[in-house]
């Protein structure tokens, strides 16, 4: 648990996106094609960017956390529900389908620390605006979106903005963040509508921005803001650190915390996002301080299997 000694009440943080099954194989070295090998260890866990964000926020001690995404009612995957419940991640607003959920086969290579993900999603139904519009916005303080489903998400963001406008106390407004990871240029529309953007390195490179400073400034200059101010942009750039630009265009680079041994790199990016959101919202840190906190949690995660040990993470200031 982290505490700033601030007593301001916090509302729920909701992460909107996917919940998938991750089937993980830890191998000594990356397998050669068409061979039959045993892994060092194997396990499965709940995954998906938004679902991982929720797990990490909960482990860090966020006041209340909710996942919103399509869930599978298929009995074989009941553990995805159970795991959310066990961890006190709210899922009461999630629609569900009888289809099996998307899943990922993941190879964690002990020799290099790399994670290779092969994802399968044969037409799992996406969230529609009708699923999103039922929620009572007054209980949320922060809503984070995995960059996907532009049409539905943009409608919900419009509702959030309308909700924020009619509030008497501007401190009660819902902050909106978006994770731009998938390499689809049309997702920039979601970024334009948000207060905070997490810009993925692969997405940045896909846009032709080959350096961290070029990436955040490139996006900053490209965005046509839909509010009075432009969004804050944070771009984690692998092991080196993250570049950030605030809404006034001030640039900072925050180097990351070195990690001695990589045990598990699956979901490190999701951990970073969740860490930054936690630090901005729950700890009220500045953007560079929150990014440093995000690096700390992501580094800690890299050194531990899964997400459970994050509850013991201590931030050194
Ligand atoms: C990690 C992750 C995994 C999931 C995959 C989906 O960031 O969310 O948990 O299998 O990405 O792309």
**Atom number in ligand 1 closest to CA 22:** 10
Q: Which of 7-11, 74-78, 121-125 has the highest mean pLDDT?
A: 121-125
Kindly report the protein residue whose alpha carbon is nearest to atom 11 of ligand 1: 48
Interval 12-19 mean pLDDT: 97
Is the Cβ atom of 216 under 6 angstroms away from ligand 1? Answer: no
pLDDT grade, residue 5 (50/70/90)?
low
Indicate whether 219 pLDDT > 60.
Answer: yes
**What pLDDT score was predicted for residue 227?**
73
Interval 152-165 mean pLDDT: 94
**What pLDDT score was predicted for residue 56?**
98
Is the Cβ atom of 22 under 6 angstroms away from ligand 1? Answer: yes
Is the Cβ atom of 117 under 6 angstroms away from ligand 1? Answer: yes
Helices (H), ranges, the chain: 49-60, 78-86, 129-132, 150-165, 188-193, 201-206, 212-222, 268-281, 287-302
**What pLDDT score was predicted for residue 82?**
95
Residue of 224 and 12 predicted with greater confidence = 12
Q: How far is ligand 1, taken at its centre, from the CA of residue 48, in Å?
A: 4
Indicate whether 280 pLDDT > 80.
Answer: yes
Interval 34-39 mean pLDDT: 95
Kindly report the protein residue whose alpha carbon is nearest to atom 6 of ligand 1: 48
**Atom number in ligand 1 closest to CA 48:** 8
**Atom number in ligand 1 closest to CA 115:** 1
**What pLDDT score was predicted for residue 9?**
84
Q: Which has the minimum average pLDDT: 7-16, 96-105, 306-315?
A: 7-16
pLDDT grade, residue 1 (50/70/90)?
very low
List the domains of the chain with CATH numbers. Answer: 12-17+49-95+125-312 (3.40.1190.20)
Kindly report the protein residue whose alpha carbon is nearest to atom 4 of ligand 1: 48
Mutate to test the pocket of ligand 1, among 48, 52, 83, 203 (most ligand atoms within 8 A of CB): 48
pLDDT grade, residue 184 (50/70/90)?
confident
Interval 114-126 mean pLDDT: 94
Query: Contact 52/106 with Cβ under 8 angstroms?
Result: no
**What pLDDT score was predicted for residue 190?**
92
Residues 221-270: tens digit of each pLDDT: 999 877 778 999 999 999 899 999 999 999 999 999 888 889 999 999 99
Indicate whether 65 pLDDT > 60.
Answer: yes
Q: Which residues pair with 255 in a beta bridge?
A: 241
Q: Which has the minimum average pLDDT: 74-78, 237-241, 253-257, 303-307?
A: 74-78
Q: How far is ligand 1, taken at its centre, from the CA of residue 79, in Å?
A: 17
Residues 283-296: tens digit of each pLDDT: 999 999 999 999 99
pLDDT grade, residue 3 (50/70/90)?
very low
pLDDT grade, residue 77 (50/70/90)?
confident
pTM of the model: 0.95
Is the Cβ atom of 12 under 6 angstroms away from ligand 1? Answer: no
Contacts 24+ apart (CB under 8 A), 39-47: 40/110, 45/83, 45/306, 46/19, 46/20, 46/21, 46/22, 46/79, 46/80, 46/83, 46/84, 47/19, 47/20, 47/21, 47/22, 47/104, 47/266, 47/267
pLDDT grade, residue 7 (50/70/90)?
low
**What pLDDT score was predicted for residue 214?**
97
pLDDT grade, residue 116 (50/70/90)?
very high
């Amino acid at each position: 648990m982290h505490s700033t000694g601030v007593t301001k009440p916090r509302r729920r943080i909701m992460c909107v996106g996917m919940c998938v099954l991750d089937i993980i194989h830890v191998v000594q070295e990356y397998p050669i094609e068409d061979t039959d090998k045993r892994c060092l260890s194997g396990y499965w866990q709940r995954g998906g960017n938004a679902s991982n964000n929720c797990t990490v926020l909960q482990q860090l001690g966020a006041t209340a956390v909710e996942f919103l995404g399509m869930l599978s009612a298929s009995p074989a995957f009941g553990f995805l529900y159970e795991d959310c419940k066990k961890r006190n991640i709210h899922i009461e607003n999630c629609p569900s389908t009888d289809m099996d959920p998307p899943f990922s086969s993941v190879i964690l290579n002990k020799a290099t620390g790399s994670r290779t993900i092969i994802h399968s999603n044969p037409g799992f139904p996406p969230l529609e605006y009708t699923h999103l519009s039922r929620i009572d916005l007054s209980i949320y303080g922060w809503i984070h979106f995995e960059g996907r489903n532009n049409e539905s998400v943009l409608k919900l963001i419009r509702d959030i903005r309308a909700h924020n406008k009619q509030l008497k106390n501007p401190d009660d407004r819902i902050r909106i963040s978006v994770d731009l990871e998938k390499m689809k240029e049309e997702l920039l529309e979601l970024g334009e509508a948000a207060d905070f953007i997490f810009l993925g390195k692969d997405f940045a490179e896909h846009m032709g921005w080959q350096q961290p400073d070029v990436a955040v400034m490139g996006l900053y200059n490209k965005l046509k803001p839909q509010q009075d101010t432009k969004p804050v942009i944070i771009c984690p750039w692998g092991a080196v650190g993250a570049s950030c630009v605030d809404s006034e265009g001030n640039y900072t680079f925050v180097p990351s915390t070195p990690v001695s041994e990589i045990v598990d790199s699956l979901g490190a990016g999701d951990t970073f996002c969740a860490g930054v959101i936690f630090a901005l919202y729950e700890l009220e840190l500045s953007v560079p301080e929150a990014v440093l906190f995000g690096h700390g949690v992501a580094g800690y995660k890299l050194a531990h299997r899964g997400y459970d040990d994050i509850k013991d993470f201590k931030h050194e200031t």
